[in-house]
Chains A and B, each alone.
Chain A
Amino acid sequence: MARGRPERLLLPLLLGWICAVSVLPMARLALEGISPSLPGAPDDLALVVFSDARVWRAAWRTLVVSLAATAFSAVVGAAAALALGLSALPGRRALAFLFVLPMLVPPQIAALSWISALGPSSALLNALGLAPPLGTPHPLYSPGGIALLLGVQHAPLVFLTLMAGLRRFPAGLVEAARLAGAGRAAVLGGIVLPLLTPALAAGAALAFIAAIGNFGIAALLGIPAGYTVLTVVIWQRLAGLGPSGLSEAALMSLLLAALAALALAVEAHAGRRGRRFVTAGATAPAPPLALGAWTRPLLALFVLYLAAVLALPLAALVSTALVPAAGVRLSASTATVANFVSVLFVQRNTIVAFRNSLVLAAASAAILVMTALLMTRVRLPRAARLAIDLPYALPGVCVAVAAILVYLRPLPLVGASLYGTLGLILIAYLARFQSLALKPLAGAAARLDPALEEAARLAGAGPVRRLATIALPLLAPACAAAAILVALTALNEITLSILLYASGSQTLGVVVFGLNDGGAAGQAAAVSVVSLLLVLALMGAASLAARRLPPGTLPWSP
């Protein structure tokens, strides 16, 4: 069937966008590995890098911790999404809201709070007489600790992707199965899970590439544990002495690219299997499953999990922000708001950073959700999907270096360089986070019934009208999930902007990192507390605005 002109134009336009945003910087980085532009690198650099046993050991470790972390994220994220999306659990909307928040807790705060909660100086363990003696090695400084922290940090990626899938769930199928006498397990295994395969595969792939490209947690726990993964080795070469670091990092990035390609292949395979099940149009939301005797244990499990990953780190964050110096115990006599006053009213750059990060988060979410929505209208070649995933699977510092390599020189025609402006950070964010927007949308779009659009086309609806009246309402929950993922990740972003900012374009991540780096942990915590409150307010405002959107658009809206 001949497609309309606008649709034939869409694919080349999108491929052009992907080339400009992702392929160009990635290709420039790869070129740096093949032919170094700085003098002083040995001719056989590739041989040197790829014959180094430490590089392969690090690659193996990346694979091991990332698989373990992905398994954790997938199980926890999927279990939470199923429980909150399908069941009649009391308070499920509030729980869905809270489940997303750990994305905003800086990982070093989560790690430190667990270390002190389980370590020799734990107030709780000391009160129980169970505290290990001073100097006991902490179990979190281990491969398992890295996987656990990565798993917790990325569980919301799987959760949000699946929630979007569940929000347009064919209630009819479930209803029919129940009428035919199928039990809860049969409904779950026979209908729900197969239907959710594309969304689950997309969420798990996202968690996997987020894990292999993670630097913060890997460095925080891996360096003390003596367990160096690829991102840490790459960063050590980049920051090390000698002119060949850039090229070595580019070469090692190829290993991460291979891992990302593997994840994409698995995701595509699972997506193809899941595509056999399609949603026949928008149906009324399924009536929530009654849980009966399972209600209380399930609720207890949620409360315990959220206490560990949210309440404990938040308590640590707030108490760090309220004491005057590191190691001082919080009490009525030591509490002070000096840290808040200092970051909000004395240091000029914090307010600028808040503004910049909010602008960047909003702009990247808007642009990326829009392009991702358009991408679901065409069949993207596998290479294009890999180009989209790649900037998220590499450590942020590599993406930043690539952006510098491409954009340092003045732009042709314009005559001015983007370097040092908020514009370049935005471009780098668009490259890095496109995958976060595309995967939830692709997972949801894979389940749409082409018959709906076909009918509309036969009825004479143009492409824009079909997008607005058929795809958009059906994909609204996935769009919201994508926007939340991009915006929250952008707000917390550090490694890209630390290499790309100049005075006036610093981000929240730059400020928090700088304060922590200089030992001002209290002020860093104060900035994090304020940004969490700000995001809570914004999410609340979004919930109010969502009343005008199709029902169920936000994961926690009715």
Chain B
Amino acid sequence: MSAPILRRHLAAATLAAALPMTALAVAPPASAQPLSGRLVIYTSQLEADAQGTADAFRARHPGVEVEWVRGGTNALIPRLRAEFAAGNPRADVLLIADSLTMETLKAENRLLRWADAPRAGVPAAHVDPDGFYWGTKLITTGIVRNARAPMTISSWNDLADARARNLVTMPSPSVSGAALIHVYAIVQNPALGWDYLERLARNGLTVRGGNGAVMQSVAGGERAFGMIIDYLPIREAAKGAPVQFVFPAEGVSAITEPVAILAGTRNEAAAKAFVAFLLSREGQELASRQGFLPADPAVAPPAGFPEPASIRVMPLDARRALAEAEAVQRRFAALIGQ
């Protein structure tokens, strides 16, 4: 570590010790000094959103040079693993789709612990209790319906109905992290469970690649219904696509697009400021402006979404999901004939 960074840490620590706790909660210690240096972010955010997030952060911390690389979680993970194997990871911050991937990285000691990160209005349920990663928004998986579909739907069970035979598709859990979480959430839901997935498979459920492929399949009329992440159909419907997004009565599954700091970061102060920014009121309002459901329920959701209080999220035990991961994925793959 270079001397100036070390000095900055010492200064921040001294400052933090001198400040009362209430002040600490409002302003994270790192922002007490102007930040500088390069911050490399690996993110699965969409191109425009990644740009917007970087720009908004730079407006707050003009001294930091933000560099971001975007890709699907399934492209970023091989990249990160190769960097680990070569012994020199380049990223400081990881902002990716699902917390399961974060859990494995945490178990491998790849993440930096920050126990007292200021999570502002983000509920404790959306952050890692051990302080390794923090949810930044809610991306829920519900149902997209083509306007020409033969029936309306309000429940997950409607997709297993005879009228929906061969009309349902979903993203492959091997491609989409959200779809994987969705399968775990259904398996863990006593009202649905494997029995529901088996009924769906018997009813002709097919998988497509990612959520984008499901969107095209349903919007183009190749399939009538799709399990899909919320913002794609909501955004496209606003632009005139013949689709509608439904929050089923049993609840939706959700991923939280968590942010984490890599253990080998070269710019810890800026990385912490970035995390704090995403969780702050300002960061949450940015997420809403970008068309996502903010993690902070006090921040108004974007147009097209219902009141956050009315959205029911199916509970998910991440530890159990991780322990059963291999078995669940095999059983699901066998179910849909992979």
Contacts and interface: CB of A to CB of B under 8 A. Distances in A.
Given A135-B167, A326-B236, A121 B242 contact: no
A226 B207 CA distance: 9
A347 interface: yes
B108 A121 contact: no
B232 A121 contact: no
A112 B216 contact: yes
Contacts of A328: 239-242
Interface in B233-247: 235-237, 239-243
Contact of B241 (A37, A112, A134, A326): A326
Nearest to B165: A135
B175 interface: yes
A81 interface: no
Nearest to A236: B174
B212 A324 contact: no
B167 A519 contact: no
Contacts of A141: 206
From DSSP, what is the main secondary structure of chain A's interface residues?
A: loop
Given A135-B167, A239-B77, A328-B242, A516 B212 contact: yes
Nearest to A40: B108
B204 A135 contact: yes
Interface secondary structure of B, over-half rule: mixed
A328 B212 CA distance: 16
A140 to B, nearest CB: 11
Contact of A511 (B47, B210, B213, B219): B47
A137 B205 CA distance: 11
Contact of B222 (A121, A220, A501): A121
Contacts of A324: 239-240
Interface in A22-48: 32, 36-40
A400 B85 CA distance: 13
Interface in A196-253: 219-220, 223-224, 226, 228, 235-236, 238-243, 245-246, 249
Contact of B207 (A224, A249, A417): A224
A420 interface: yes
Contacts of A220: 209, 213
Interface string A121-149: 10000000000001111100100000000
Interface stretch (B62-70, B112-120, B135-143): B62-70
Interface stretch (A354-362, A404-412, A442-450, A455-463): A404-412
Interface residues of A, number: 70
Interface string B314-338: 0000000010010000000000111
Contacts of A259: none
A238 B242 contact: no
B59 to A, nearest CB: 17
A349 B77 contact: no
Interface stretch (B16-24, B86-94, B248-256): B86-94
B222 A120 contact: yes
Contacts of B48: 347
B280 interface: no
Interface in B61-112: 67-75, 77-79, 81-88, 90, 100-101, 104, 108
Contacts of B71: 498-499, 510, 514
A135 B206 CA distance: 10
Interface in A462-510: 498-499, 501-503, 510
B166 A137 contact: yes
Nearest to A350: B47
A36 B88 CA distance: 16
Nearest to B218: A327
Interface string B115-154: 0000000000000000000000000000000101010000
B284 interface: no
Given A502-B69, A519-B236, A241 B100 contact: yes
Given A120-B222, A223-B174, A519-B211, A325 B236 contact: yes
A407 B75 CA distance: 18
B67 A502 contact: yes
A85 B314 CA distance: 64
B216 A518 contact: no
Interface in B154-187: 165-167, 172, 174-175
Given A112-B216, A401-B78, A503-B69, A517 B204 contact: no
A498 B77 CA distance: 12
A419 interface: yes
B90 A419 contact: yes
B172 A223 contact: yes
7 smallest beta-carbon distances between A and B, as pairs: A327-B219, A135-B166, A239-B74, A121-B221, A325-B239, A518-B46, A325-B241
Interface of A: 32, 36-40, 112, 115-116, 119-121, 134-138, 141, 219-220, 223-224, 226, 228, 235-236, 238-243, 245-246, 249, 324-328, 334, 347-349, 397, 400-401, 404-406, 408-409, 417, 419-420, 498-499, 501-503, 510-511, 514-521
Given A32-B85, A519-B211, 4 more contacts: A325-B240, A327-B241, A408-B90, A518-B46
Interface of B: 46-48, 51, 67-75, 77-79, 81-88, 90, 100-101, 104, 108, 146, 148, 150, 165-167, 172, 174-175, 204, 206-213, 215-216, 218-224, 232, 235-237, 239-243, 322, 325, 336-338
11 contacts: A37-B87, A38-B84, A116-B222, A134-B150, A135-B224, A223-B174, A246-B82, A326-B216, A409-B86, A510-B71, A519-B236
